[in-house]
Amino acid sequence: MPLPYRTRKRLALLILAVGMPVYVVVAVNLIELFERPSFLVELAVFAGLGILWALPFRFVFRGVGQPDPDARSPDRR
pLDDT tens for each residue of 59-73: 888 888 888 887 776
Contact 61, 3 (CB under 8 A): no
Would the pTM count as exceeding 0.75? no
Q: How far apart are CA 29 and CA 52, in angstroms?
A: 16
Flag whether 47 is in a domain. Answer: yes
Domain that holds residue 11: 5-57
At residue 6, φ and ψ (nearest 5 deg) are -65, -40
Q: What is the pLDDT of residues 12-35, one digit of tens each?
A: 999 999 999 998 998 889 888 888
pLDDT exceeds 90 at position 2? no
Q: How many domains does the chain have?
A: 1
Q: Is residue 18 part of a domain?
A: yes
Q: Is the pLDDT of residue 76 over 60?
A: no
Assess if residue 65 is contained within a domain. no
